[in-house]
Chain A
Amino acid sequence: MTVSSSTPTARPSGEYRPSKAMGSTADLLDTRVGVAKAVKFIGRKIFPEHWSFLLGEIALWSFVVLILTGIFLTMFFDPSMAHTTYPEDAMPATHQGMEMSVAYESTVLMSWEVKGGLLMRQMHHWAALLFVAAIVVHMFRIFFTGAFRKPREINWLVGFTLLILSLLAGFSGYSLPDDVLSGNGLRIADGVAKSIPIIGSYVSYGLFGGEFPGEHIIPRLFTVHILLIPAAIVALVTVHLILMVVHKHTQYPGVGRTDNNVVGYPAFPVYAAKMAGFFLIVFGFIALMGATMSINNVWNYGPYDPSPVSAGAQPDWYMLFLEGALRLMPGWEVVIAGYTLSLNILIPGVIVPGLLFTFLAVYPFLEAAATKDQREHHVLDRPRNVPVRTALGVAYLGAFGVTVLAGANDLIATHFELSINDITWFFRIAFFVLPVVLFIATKRICLGLQRRDRELALHGHETGRVVQLPDGAFMEVHKPLTDEERWLLVAHEAQRPIEVGPATDRRGVDRPGYRADRIRHRISRFFYEDRVEPVTPAELAAAAHHGHGPETDGHPEEPHEIHGGSMEVTRPEAAADEQVEQPPSGGSIATLARGEKG
């Protein structure tokens, strides 16, 4: 049976007769802008379905909520650092007559004196946290399933840029209320800017329009936050989605799914309903969060003042990794010919994040170099089937996780009554050790899962039915897999290290490109040296013929296989006492064929 011939297509077969109003509207649009062509292109386009495809959608819809709530906030926020006194007749009473900036005053006023203002502020903040979180999780879904492979490398870079923009959007927005916390965040940004070699003090001076804090930074960040970054995000999201339609969405491996087709439901009406519905669910969820969970109640911290700071202060979660890296770094600072180089800030503030982000950006190209694979891929990988990629991703998240936790080391210290110095030292070591441990462990787990898949594909399901053979041996009866079940386990292709041509050509002259090939070969070996290849039809046939295979003839008294742990249970006295209905004892997968035993 071929994949597509017997399945229906989503093109309409019967004639469509619209109502009169619909028909004339459609005709009006089509004769003027040719709308029928667009409807024909997108109307019944097929999209595959999987819960993990919703992660990017969460990011998209929380961005829409950010825009909607953000428009509300701009109506009442005044991005000015001019000095003012909080009105005597406005809530909260603690602020009446207090000196502050206009930006802070308008933030507090819109929370206390504008109905729905606090709700919109809280929704905006929760949506921002969700936006960045959804982007990160979506990105790692793409990473672990190999959805970045050809032809989607450019879209990976578009998504990567969106991640950076989302961080900038978050940081610029966080700074706007001009409270003590956000002011200290800006002060840290100022310190990091000053650490840049040669031009640091000018970067700081240019950023703040003079000395920190000045009166320019909040109006400037406001423009960045509500115009430059959202415009760039809208533009890139558009590119991101157009490319998704152009490439057609990836799909998980499964029966009937190939690199040459896409299996799923039509855009109209199924995805129109599901996407609109999901937008409203994300919207509703954020609204409930804004209604019930308070966040960033700035009046508890007070207006910015360069002197106070509150202990246990954390930035929003997506900035924790930078904060944590700053906290972990030992105090290294060198003076070269009278000039100061602040390694204690440059390394965690610039170099470590630079390396982390560069790895993400270039990874698709690194892997393509290792595989020399020029084909298009539309069927996703199961993470276990690419152990080194999966292990690299987990190790990466491990390093990231250490810096995130280190960004909360003071809270860990106070909550668990531990020494903050010990925690910091633990994280310093963990930052280097944990990724290595996670890499090795994840790779081994992936290889183990692949071996298990092989076992399952070769021998079928355990049934728990143990029988005794005439010679006294016990064995477990296995149930064969259906073709559909087996396909999931054997559909992927084996990746092997690439071969390298000889160093010299036939006449003994050095071959150009040999050195590059060697490097590529080394990367490729790193990726694919250790591997478990999928079962081939020949192996399955051999297993069945050798008596390894699943029991297919319906005679349980003549089973083909003895399952693991059989050596223990074949002791005569044990065998005599306990009859056949005994679950398999060991967890071992060692198999022993009857022929070999005899």
Chain B
Amino acid sequence: MSTEQHVAPAEAQEPELFENPGTEEHRERLGDVDPRYAKANERLIALILAVSALASIGSIVAYVALPLEDLWSVRNSTLFLGLGLGIGMLGIGVAAIHWAKTLMSNVEYVEERHPQRSDDEPRAVAADMMKHGVEDSGIGRRPLLKGAALGAVALAPLPYVVPLVANLGGDWNVGAFRHTLWGETPEEYSGRLPDGSLGRRLARDPEDTPIRATDVTNGSVFHVIPHGLNEHEHFYEEKAKAVVLMVRLDPDLLHEPEEKADWSYNGIVAYSKICTHVGCPVALYEQQTHHLLCPCHQSTFDMTDQAKVVFGPAKRPLPQLPIAVDDEGYLVARADFDEPIGPSYWERLQ
């Protein structure tokens, strides 16, 4: 039993930190002392290797025997080739590790570490070498050469880099972002408006058949492309800009500003299908709420109110395509979009 008086000197004698007790003694495994266990492990490893070999052979048999004829045969071929490959590899792997863990020595060894820093002597030698090298080169005494070499080295990559980067963008015609096929009115794909001007016909995506205003029943949704798009040389690029979603709503629901009162026809409104956020197709229309939802990032647009954003990361409403009906009853675009479609970019408003 101790008291306060005994404690003080005892504390004074204690070291500041505990001492590392040192590595534990090696404990022998069952297989180290009893050869029967080692033999059993040896047999097990051999068995696993045999399974692996059989699996590899089986995989080749599957390759030769299983034809590719329909969905099921493709699936079976994939399954059996893969099982053979997988079990073949896994078998060797498991066997190797079991061998290492049970039959190879598990005596732990200790290796000294040395500091990363070099000893003083090699450091001094290295510094000396560098000093001599720099002196030999004469770079310190010849500042003209230093400047000339730096300048030449800095310029030399340019003949490689400039053509590489400059050619990446082809014609660099970024002004093309502003125009879509709706502004082009070739005779065969357009209809004549009452005022005598031509308008590109609206067509079904992907069939490319023109749409009559009378086909658009109340509440229906049309995925629309410019008529004749499929014949265009740059089909994908133009389609990526020109796709439109068209719905017919009760005209009483529509909120239309004065200047855009004639952009719709009998409650039929058409908006760009390219999201003003990062450009996904805004493809999900909710009949009940008249909301248009982008499946990529959930920007939600109100089709009754100028396709304004009601939720999500988009800022701007979808651009509206002004539509009318031509003398044959087909829906046509009265003009191109009045702003660039799709995601924002720096000089969009210029």
Listed in ascending order, the chain A residues whose CB lies under 8 Å from chain B are 1-4, 6-10, 44-46, 83, 91-92, 111-113, 115-116, 118-119, 122-123, 151, 184, 187-188, 190-192, 194-202, 204-207, 209-214, 246-248, 255-266, 269-270, 273-274, 276-288, 290-292, 304-313, 323, 326-333, 335, 338-342, 344-345, 348, 376, 378, 409-410, 420-421, 424, 483-484, 486-487, 490-491, 493, 536-538, 540-542, 545-547
Contact present for B14 and A487 (CB under 8 Å)? no
Among the listed B68, B90, B100, which residue makes an inter-chain contact with A274, where contact means beta carbons less than 8 Å apart? B100
Chain A residue contacts of B24, Cβ below 8 A: 255-256, 484
- Docked Cα-Cα span, A204 to B74, in Å, equals 39
Query: What are the residues of chain B within 8 A of A345 when measuring CB–CB?
Result: 277-278, 313, 343-344
Indicate if B169 sits at the interface (CB-CB under 8 A).
Answer: yes
Residues in chain A near residue B174, CB distance under 8 A: 201-202, 204-205
User: In the assembly, what is the distance between CA of A393 and CA of B285, in Å?
Assistant: 42
Is B195 in the interface zone, CB < 8 Å from A?
no
The answer to whether A91 and B295 touch across the interface, beta carbons within 8 angstroms, is: no
Known: A184-B280, A205-B169, A206-B169. A200 touches B346 (CB 8 A): yes
**Measured between C-beta atoms, what is the minimum distance from A518 to chain B in Å?**
30
Residues of A within 8 A of B283 (CB): 307-309, 311
Chain B hits for A323, CB < 8 A:
297
**Would you give the shortest CB distance from A103 to chain B, in whole angstroms?**
13
Q: A195-B344, A279-B93 are in contact. Are A119 and B81 (CB under 8 A)?
A: yes
Q: Which chain A positions have C-beta within 8 A of B85?
A: 119, 284, 287, 291
- For chain B residues 2-54, which have a beta carbon within 8 Å of chain A? 2, 6-7, 10-11, 14-18, 20-24
A342 to chain B, nearest CB (A): 4
Q: 6 other contacts beyond A190-B278, A204-B345, with CB at 8 A cut-off? A: A188-B278, A209-B169, A263-B110, A277-B92, A277-B93, A309-B281
> Is A281 a contact of B169 with CB atoms below 8 Å?
no
The one of A1, A44, A194, A282 in contact with B21, judged by C-beta atoms closer than 8 angstroms, is: A1
Of the listed stretches B101-109, B135-143, B322-330, chain A binds B101-109
Let me know if A260 and B349 touch, CB within 8 A: no
Which residue in chain A gives the minimum CB-CB distance to B69?
A91
Beta-carbon contact of A284 and B87 below 8 Å: yes
Taken together as a complex, chains A and B put the C-alpha atoms of A227 and B77 apart, in Å, by 31
Please measure, in the bound complex, the distance between the C-alpha atom of A294 and the C-alpha atom of B72, giving whole angstroms.
Answer: 13
Residue in B87, B206, B284, B345 whose Cβ sees the most chain A Cβ within 10 Å: B345
Task: Give bound CA distance, A542 to B3, whole Å.
Answer: 11
Question: Which residues of A lie under 8 Å from residue B95 when comparing CB positions?
Answer: 277
Verify B97–A277 contact, CB threshold 8 A: yes
Residues of B within 8 A of A (CB): 2, 6-7, 10-11, 14-18, 20-24, 63, 66, 68-71, 74, 77-83, 85-97, 99-100, 104-113, 115-116, 165, 168-174, 176-177, 205-206, 223, 225, 234-237, 239-241, 243, 273, 277-281, 283-284, 295-299, 309, 311-316, 342-350
Please report the C-alpha to C-alpha distance between residue A405 and residue B11 in the assembled complex, in whole angstroms: 55
How distant is the Cα of A191 from the Cα of B344 in the complex, in angstroms?
8
| B109 near A197: Cβ-Cβ < 8 Å | no
Query: Which A residues are in CB contact (< 8 Å) with B312?
Result: 327, 331, 424
Task: Give which listed residue, A287, A338, A493, contacts B86 with CB less than 8 A.
Answer: A287
- Find B96's partner among A198, A256, A274, A339 (CB 8 Å cutoff): A274
Other-chain contact of A273, B87, B104, B110 (Cβ < 8 Å): B104
Q: How far is the CA of A263 from the CA of B2 in the complex (A)?
A: 41
Contact of B23 among A263, A304, A335, A376 (CB under 8 A): A263
Contact B21 A211 (CB under 8 A): no
Q: A487–B93 contact, CB under 8 A?
A: no
- Contact A338 to B349, CB < 8 A, known contacts A284-B90, A330-B313: yes
> Is there contact, CB below 8 Å, between B23 and A3?
yes
A-B contact pairs, 8 of them (CB 8 A): A116-B81, A201-B174, A205-B170, A284-B90, A309-B296, A326-B297, A338-B350, A545-B6
Q: Are A190 and B279 in contact (CB under 8 A)?
A: yes
Find out whether the CB atom of A307 lies under 8 angstroms from the CB atom of B298. no
Cβ contacts under 8 Å, A264 to chain B: 108-109
A483 touches B81 (CB 8 A): no
Minimum C-beta distance from B66 to chain A (A): 8
From the candidates B7, B14, B83, B89, name the one contacting A537 in the complex (CB within 8 A): B14
Given A256-B21, A335-B349, A278-B97 contact (CB < 8 Å): yes
A291 touching B78, Cβ below 8 Å: yes
**Distance from B16 Cβ to chain A, minimum over Cβ atoms (Å):** 7
A281 to B97, Cβ gap below 8 A? yes
Interchain CA distance A478-B259 in the complex, whole Å? 88
Which of A211, A266, A339 has the most B CB atoms < 10 Å from its CB?
A: A211
The complex places the Cα of A269 from the Cα of B106 at a distance, in Å, of 11
> How long is the Cα–Cα vector from A493 to B20 in the complex, in angstroms?
13
- Chain A residues lying within 8 Å of B21, measured Cβ to Cβ, are 1, 255-256, 483-484, 487
Query: Which residue of B is nearest A1, CB measured?
Result: B22
Instruction: Decide: A197 and B346 in contact? CB cutoff 8 A.
Output: yes
Give chain B residues whose Cβ lies under 8 Å from the Cβ of A339: 346-347, 349-350
B12: min CB distance to chain A, Å? 8
Known: A283-B89, A290-B82, A538-B14. A311 touches B7 (CB 8 A): no
CB distance from B51 to the nearest CB of A (A): 12
| Other-chain residue from B79, B86, B223, B343 in contact with A195 (beta carbon distance below 8 A) | B343
B281 touching A306 by the CB < 8 A rule?
A: yes
What A residues does B295 contact at CB under 8 A? Answer: 309-313, 410
Q: Are A210 and B298 in contact (CB under 8 A)?
A: no
Residue pair B82, A281 in contact (C-beta under 8 Å) = no
Inter-subunit contact A340/B346 (CB<8 Å):
yes
Is A421 a contact of B77 with CB atoms below 8 Å?
Answer: no
User: How many Å lie between the Cα of A516 and that of B325 in the bound state?
Assistant: 73
- The 8 Å CB contact of A287, one of B74, B82, B345, is B82
Q: In the assembled complex, how far is the CB of residue A35 from the closest CB belonging to chain B, in whole angstroms?
A: 21
B96 and A276 contacting across the interface, CB-CB below 8 Å: yes
In the complex the two chains form, is B104's CB within 8 Å of A281's CB? no
Contact of B74 among A7, A8, A83, A112 (CB under 8 A): A112
Q: Is the CB of B111 within 8 A of A209?
A: no
Tell me which residues across on chain A come within 8 A of B298, comparing CB atoms. 327, 409-410, 420, 424
Pair B344/A333 contact, Cβ less than 8 Å: yes
Query: How far is the CB of B115 from the nearest CB of chain A, in Å?
Result: 6
Q: Is the CB of A262 within 8 A of B18?
A: no
A213–B6 touching, CB < 8 Å: no
A326 and B82 within 8 A (CB): no
**Residue in chain B with minimal CB distance to A191:** B278
In the complex, what residues of B have CB within 8 A of residue A410's CB? 295, 298
| Residues B313 and A211 in contact, CB atoms below 8 Å apart | no
Q: Are A285 and B346 in contact (CB under 8 A)?
A: no
Chain B residue numbers with a CB within 8 Å of A9 are: 109-111
Within the assembled complex, what's the spacing in Å between the Cα atoms of A304 and B236?
A: 9
Task: Tell me the complex Cα distance, A204–B215, Å.
Answer: 39
Contact of B109 among A123, A263, A344 (CB under 8 A): A263
Partner of A545, one of B2, B16, B223: B2
Instruction: Report yes or no: A490 in contact with B111, Cβ–Cβ below 8 A.
Output: no
Q: A213 CA to B237 CA in the complex, in Å?
A: 6
**Given A256-B20, A410-B298, A537-B18, A329:B243 Cβ within 8 A:** no
